[in-house]
Amino acid sequence: MDRVDFLNTEEMSDEMLQHNEEIKQLEVGKSGKNGKLKIVLDIEPSSGKTRIKEKESAFPLSVQKEMYYDQFQPKMTHVYIVSSSGGILQGDKYLIDIILEKNALAHITTQGATRVYGMNVSNAIQVINVSLDDGAYLEFIPDQIIPYKNSRFYQEINFKVHDNATMIYSEIISPGRIGMGEIFDYEICYLRSIGKNHKDELRFTDYTKIEPKKMNLQDFGVLEQKQITATMYILAKRNDVEKIIQTLENEIKNSSEIEFGWSTMTKENGILLRILGNTTRDVIRLVYDITKIVRKTILHSDFHEIRKT
C-alpha cells in the first residue's frame, strides 16, 4: 500500500510529501511498520458497564483489558492504548479507530508519551478516527507527543461525534527531549483535525504546522517564551457548551506558568482551547482541570487525575 493512499486525503503538506521516500532498513509495509488498532465499545446489557465489544490490532499497537476503577463513574471503562515499540520510527504509519456505540462511557489514554524518533529519510504518519453515537461520552487524553531531533511527524484525526454525544480530546506537544538538550530540534510536526456530526456536517477543522528550524517559536505571539503547547477540543450540546464556558471563566485563570484561551465553534456546539505552559506537568494539570469541569457539567460527577505509576 502506498503511504499517501493510506491517508486517503489530499491535505498532506508539501513539507511531508517531499520526505515520503522508501527506507532501506525494514521497509514500509513490513511487520511492525503498519500499526493498526480498532476498538468498538458498547454497554454490556446485564451490568450496564461499558465494555470493549470488539477489537482488532496489528503489531505494535494493542489495548489492555478494560478497567473499572473510577469511584465516581463505576460503569465507565478506562482503556489504555499500548505500543510494544519504543516509539514511532521513520517509515512507520499507524491507524487507530475508536468507536463508541450508544450511551457508552469511556476514558481512553496511552500508556506513555508518543515518542517520534529522529529520521534520516521518510517520515512518520498516524491517523486516528473517532466515532461517537447518540448519548456517548468520551474523554480521550493521550500523553504528550515528543518529537526527537530531525523527526518529521504527520497526524490526522477525524472526529465523527453525534450531536447528543460529548467528547473531550487533548493534544500536548513537547519541544523534544528536554533532558538531552533537544529543544525544538525536530524538522516538522504537522497536526490536522476535522470534526463532523452524525449527519456528516462539518463542526470544525484545525491545522497546526510547527517547523522550528524555519520559525522562531519564542517570538511574541507564537509561544510567548513557553515550551509546551496543547490543544483541546470539547464537542457537546450547545446548552452544555454555554455552561462549560461560564465555569471556565469563573474557575480557570492565566498565570505566569501557564496561559490559555478558547473560542467556540461555528454552531456553538463545541470549544477549541489553546494552552501554553512551562512544563508538561503544568499543562497536564490544566487539561485535567478542564476535563473535570466538562465531566461535572455532563455527567454530574467528579474527576480525579489518572495515575500511571
3-state secondary structure of 22: coil
- Distance between CA atoms of residues 206 and 290, nearest Å: 20
3-state secondary structure of 146: strand
* H/E segment holding residue 191: strand 188-196
For the cut 60, the answer to whether the pLDDT of residue 9 exceeds it is no
The model's confidence at residue 285, banded by pLDDT at 50, 70 and 90, is: very high
52 class by beta-carbon count within 10 Å (0-12 exposed, 13-18 middle, 19+ buried): middle
Nearest to 154 by CA among 186, 126, 117: 126
Q: Are 236 and 244 in contact (CB under 8 A)?
A: yes
* H/E segment holding residue 290: helix 280-298
Domain boundaries, the chain: 3-298
Sign of the alpha-carbon dihedral angle for 243, 156, 308, 77 = positive
Q: What is the value of pTM for the model shown?
A: 0.91
- Distance between CA atoms of residues 26 and 44, nearest Å: 41
Least confident of 6-10, 58-62, 90-94, 190-194: 6-10
The model's confidence at residue 30, banded by pLDDT at 50, 70 and 90, is: low
What's the pLDDT tens digit per position in 40-79? 999 999 999 999 999 999 999 999 999 999 999 999 999 9
For the cut 60, the answer to whether the pLDDT of residue 214 exceeds it is yes
The model's confidence at residue 1, banded by pLDDT at 50, 70 and 90, is: very low
Nearest to 154 by CA among 201, 113, 210: 210
**Mean pLDDT, residues 197-216:** 93
